């Protein structure tokens, strides 16, 4: 019997990947994905715990879902309500204490057991936040449906770095890399089903060290070179990287692997060495600048992106100025910045030198204004150029398609659906604050670098 499954995904791309895999796991039980919660037989909230706001959103959503569930049960139906992901892992039983109408709570390493949980739920509520003795990947079925032109593929999970502000080592567990052969097999299946761009995912993706067939570990650079040989896989990206693991082999791959797109998200968090040390980032601002220099030597047109935290405990005005200086020097194509958010159980949360919220907000505004100027300048510099755009999906207006440039810019074009899933040469005509628009000047799947790239 067909049952309706609604999944709402919060947080990072790894959760997007996990949500798709949950659909695969539940497909044999007759669940088909739907895009609204009304009338669903099962609802999963795949949650994020990274900042307080992200975590609190889940409880307000659970409040909204409560009457839906009740109405369905009053009609004699059933609605299984499940909370997965990083809030589930961090809070476990607490989720059911705050929202007793939740039936299942499961962590990011437990979702391969969803069929068992679903079959037991009629008898009792389930909380499964065990970290696995076995890796869940060994138990996941093949993809139940095509993933589209651009797809995510998780190759590495967890984190052993323990930055003092961050919950990820506690919610995702210890660092783990999938074997090379498994990643290659999944990538080939994706390509057979129409994917032409793959973004490799991991909380520390460039710490990848999965075993090859000979049981010797391979690096991310090795993996990228193997993936680039797959016929029909035209574009590769990876995220998120840590500066400590940005080795020369990976930097060099940006210089000569044609499928590897000229975009790198490399979070630095702060430009102050004292703050970086307090964050336990284990690199300095100078080391970050040196990576940037070397990667631009390998790939002069690379677009750089980063994450910043402002108002980490004890951050002074002068230390914040060092962050602004680093941004001014590097010139980012885009970047995310956040107010420091205290996370229960992390070392920095207990410090008594927390920065007042109004100071954090003022710093955030200043940093974001600078980053906005840089991303606008980056986008404007592409006007007049011809870029290769992978047209991924229909736009908001009819007759419009949206895709990504090699540099990760969103690009809108007027084109009919026959262009969907194809890589087209697009003449860029205008730059908006967060996207570009242009016209197709030719379909050219084989030629991937922008024609006027350095």
What is the sign, positive or negative, of the torsion defined by CA atoms of 219, 222, 225, 227?
negative
**Residue 107 contacts residue 93 (beta carbons within 8 Å):** no
The residue from 25, 48, 180, 330 that contacts ligand F3S (CB under 6 A) is 48
For residue 15, which of 72, 88, 119, 97 has the smallest C-alpha distance? 88
Residue whose tokens read 């060495």: 273
375 binds ligand SAH (CB under 6 A): no
The residue from 65, 168, 371, 413 that contacts ligand F3S (CB under 6 A) is 168
Distance CA 47, CA 85 (A): 5
Stretch 139-178: interaction string toward ligand SAH, x if CB under 6 A: --------------------------xx-x----------
Q: Is 435 exposed, middle or buried (0-12, 13-18, 19+ CB in 10 A)?
A: middle
Given the complex with ligand F3S, which of 9 and 270 has the nearer CB atom? 9
Distance CA 170, CA 158 (A): 9
Site for ligand SAH in 278-337 (CB under 6 A): 307, 309
Given the complex with ligand SAH, which of 49 and 69 has the nearer CB atom? 49
Stretch 204-223: interaction string toward ligand SAH, x if CB under 6 A: x-------------------
What is the per-residue DSSP string for 117-182? HHHHTTTS-EEE-PPPSS-GGGGPPPPSS---SEEEEE-EE--S---TT--HHHHT-S-EE--HHH
**Residue 447 contacts residue 422 (beta carbons within 8 Å):** no
Given the complex with ligand SF4, which of 162 and 336 has the nearer CB atom? 162
- Partners of 309 in the β-ladder: 338
Given the complex with ligand F3S, which of 21 and 254 has the nearer CB atom? 21
> Where on the chain is the footprint of ligand SF4 (CB under 6 A)?
159, 161-163, 166, 168-169, 203-204, 242
Mapped onto helix, strand or coil, the DSSP state of residue 299 is: coil
Binder of residue 85, out of ligand SF4, ligand SAH, ligand F3S, none (CB less than 5 to 8 A by kind): ligand F3S
The residue from 49, 237, 339, 412 that contacts ligand F3S (CB under 6 A) is 49
Residues near ligand F3S (CB under 6 A) are: 11-12, 14-15, 48-50, 85-86, 167-168, 171-172, 203
Residues near ligand SAH (CB under 6 A) are: 50-51, 165-166, 168, 203-204, 240, 242, 267, 269, 307, 309, 338, 340-341, 343
């Amino acid at each position: 019997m067909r049952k309706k499954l609604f999944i709402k995904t919060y947080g990072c791309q790894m959760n997007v990947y996990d949500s798709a895999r949950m659909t695969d796991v539940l497909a044999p039980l007759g669940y088909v994905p739907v895009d609204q919660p009304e009338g669903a037989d099962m609802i999963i909230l795949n949650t994020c715990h990274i900042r307080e706001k992200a975590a609190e959103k889940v409880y307000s959503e659970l409040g909204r879902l409560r009457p839906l569930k009740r109405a369905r049960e009053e009609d004699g139906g059933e609605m299984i309500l499940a909370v997965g992901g990083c809030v589930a892992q961090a809070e476990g039983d607490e989720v059911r204490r705050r929202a007793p109408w939740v039936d299942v709570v499961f962590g990011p390493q437990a979702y391969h057991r969803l069929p068992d949980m679903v079959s037991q739920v009629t008898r009792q509520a389930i909380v499964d936040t065990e970290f696995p003795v076995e890796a869940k990947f060994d138990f996941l079925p093949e993809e139940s449906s095509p993933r589209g032109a651009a797809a995510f593929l998780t190759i590495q999970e967890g984190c052993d770095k323990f930055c003092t502000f961050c919950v990820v080592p506690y919610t995702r567990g210890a660092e783990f890399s999938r074997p090379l052969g498994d990643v290659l097999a999944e990538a080939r299946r994706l390509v057979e089903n129409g994917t032409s761009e793959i973004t490799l995912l991991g909380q520390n993706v460039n710490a990848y060290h999965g075993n090859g067939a000979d049981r010797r570990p391979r690096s991310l650079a090795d993996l990228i070179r193997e993936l680039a040989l797959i016929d029909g896989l035209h574009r590769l990206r990876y995220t998120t990287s840590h500066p400590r693991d940005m080795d020369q082999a990976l930097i060099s791959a940006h210089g000569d692997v044609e499928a590897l797109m000229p975009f790198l998200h490399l979070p630095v968090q702060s430009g102050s060495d004292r703050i970086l040390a307090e964050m336990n980032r284990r690199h300095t601002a100078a080391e970050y600048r040196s990576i940037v220099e070397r990667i631009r030597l390998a790939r002069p047109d690379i677009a750089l992106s980063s994450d910043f935290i402002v108002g980490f405990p004890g951050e002074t005005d002068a230390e914040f100025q060092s962050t602004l200086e680093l941004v001014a020097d590097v010139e980012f194509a885009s970047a995310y910045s956040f107010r420091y958010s205290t996370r229960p159980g992390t070392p920095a949360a207990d410090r008594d030198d927390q920065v007042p919220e109004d100071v954090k907000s003022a710093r955030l505004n200043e940093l974001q204004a600078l980053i906005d100027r840089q991303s606008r300048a980056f986008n404007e510099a592409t006007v007049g150029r011809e870029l290769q755009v992978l047209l991924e999906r229909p736009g908001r207006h009819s007759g419009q398609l949206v895709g990504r440039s090699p540099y990760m810019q969103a690009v809108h074009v007027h084109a009919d659906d026959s262009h969907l899933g194809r890589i087209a040469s697009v003449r860029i005509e205008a730059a908006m604050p967060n996207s570009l628009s242009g016209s197709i000047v030719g379909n050219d799947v084989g030629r991937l670098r922008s024609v006027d790239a350095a």
